[in-house]
Chains A and B, each alone.
Chain A
Amino acid sequence: MIAVIDYGAGNIFSVKNALDHLGYENILTKSETDIRNADAVILPGVGAFPWAMKMLSESGLVDTIKTEAKKKPFLGICLGMQLLFDKSFEFEECAGLGLISGYVDKINEPDLVIPHMGWNKLEINHDCPLFNGLSEDEYVYFVHSYKAFCDDENLYAYCEYGHKVPALVSDGKTVFGAQFHPEKSGKTGLKILENFVMLSGEGK
């Protein structure tokens, strides 16, 4: 069972639709018990960082997430990826989940359109199981105005948009974060989601 954390953020149905399509049992939930019992957890999110952290703490999920993310495959998507870091400067300095070291700040590219929106090429920095079966020429779909700043060891893939934009980050163990939307990235995205679920042993 995959728990998709539902804390009132954005379009979580598309994550559910993708998991349903792949044939994986999943549940949209904000229950601590569901998150504890799940084989893998996905933290989606669209919106602003401080607001999302507030919603997570109001749901009483912050401690559960911090504990469970170290025990089982855990994937943050888009804003959910940004929440994995120590802090963000979106509107105001705000503490994150601190699962991967680094911070989140505005994409500062005066000559480029912000938000960074569209299909961009995934450049692999370190190999990781989530990239199993992908070719060297894969595009994924991004929509965001803020980006992560992290150490090279946590940067598994990036894309070029002016400077490097972290696309996939990980603690090298159970915690993963995708800045792009795998649930909107066609076959490539579905493959990445499938690879993630496979980590939990929750194969078909």
Chain B
Amino acid sequence: MLAKRIIPCLDVRDGKVVKGVNFQGIKEVGDPVECAYEYNLQGADEIVFYDITASHEGRGVMLDVVRNTAKKVFVPLTVGGGIKTVDDIRETLRAGADKVSVNSQAVQNPALIKEGADIFGSQCICVGIDAKKVSDGKWTVYINGGRIDMKLDLIDWVKQIEQLGAGEICLNSIDTDGVREGFDIPMLDAVCKAVKIPVIASGGAGKLGDFADAFLKTDCSAALAASLFHFKELTVEQVKDDCRAKGIRIR
């Protein structure tokens, strides 16, 4: 059977890895190609670049980052952020990405998921979701970095995504993101039970045991974290050792 994946995520702006610090602003923390290479050495199963660049020029810079990373990192690469059209998907894959992740654009234009999957294959299309709890067992989907509530029921949305041909879901909980007390297990569990496609847990990892916890309590296929790995509080290797020790199948 497949191994559970540990995925470090790098937020990239204008060709630099950046990290929001306590909502006070954004600081540059390094070169994305070097960071990706370091994660690769630590045993990352996949690497995600999340492009937070607003400008058109920035897109080109991001593609260069992907091209340069693909020359020295030999694990799957996913690129999210700013992907609006089939042409954006095509040029991102051509630069060396194995998958793209679409988020707000998929909510506003669900046809993008189907078109992308039809042309490039389901395996290339990951749909990123930001969701927040309304009441027990009920969540809604947000867009624009968690700023706008689309009043769209999370479970309805993930089923629709699967129907449209998405290959994977990256589920970020607005409630647990940044809180560092573990992934949002109830939300994750509900989504894993609603679809058959792989679900990546995102948002909330704060300590070693949080990853194994997500794998033991839900059927998620992968767990993603950014700051924890950026700030070297934990290495990918430590997380994998912990999961392995708890009997989870890990590469």
Contact = CB atoms under 8 A, between A and B. Distances in A.
Contacts of B1: 120, 160-161
B251 A119 contact: yes
Instruction: Give the interface residue-count category, chain B.
Output: 20 to 34
Contact of A190 (B3, B70, B74): B74
B186 interface: no
Interface string A61-81: 000000000000000000000
Interface string B71-93: 11011100000000000000001
Given A13-B96, A17-B70, A186-B75, 19 more contacts: A11-B96, A17-B74, A21-B72, A47-B121, A113-B196, A113-B198, A115-B123, A117-B2, A117-B167, A117-B168, A118-B45, A119-B5, A119-B251, A120-B3, A143-B123, A160-B1, A184-B76, A185-B75, A190-B74
- Main SS of the interface on chain A? mixed
B93 A11 contact: yes
Contacts of B167: 115, 117
A119 B2 contact: yes
A161 B2 CA distance: 8
- B contact face: mostly helix, strand, loop, or mixed: loop
Contacts of A113: 196-198
Contacts of A160: 1
B5 A21 contact: no
A95 interface: no
Interface in B46-73: 70-72
A139 B1 CA distance: 11
B71 A21 contact: yes
Contacts of B5: 118-119
A141 interface: yes
A118 B221 contact: yes
B122 interface: yes
B74 A46 contact: no
30 contacts: A14-B74, A17-B70, A21-B71, A21-B74, A113-B196, A113-B197, A117-B167, A117-B168, A117-B198, A118-B198, A118-B221, A119-B3, A119-B5, A119-B45, A119-B251, A120-B2, A121-B3, A139-B3, A139-B251, A141-B76, A160-B1, A161-B1, A161-B2, A183-B74, A184-B76, A184-B98, A185-B74, A186-B40, A186-B75, A189-B74
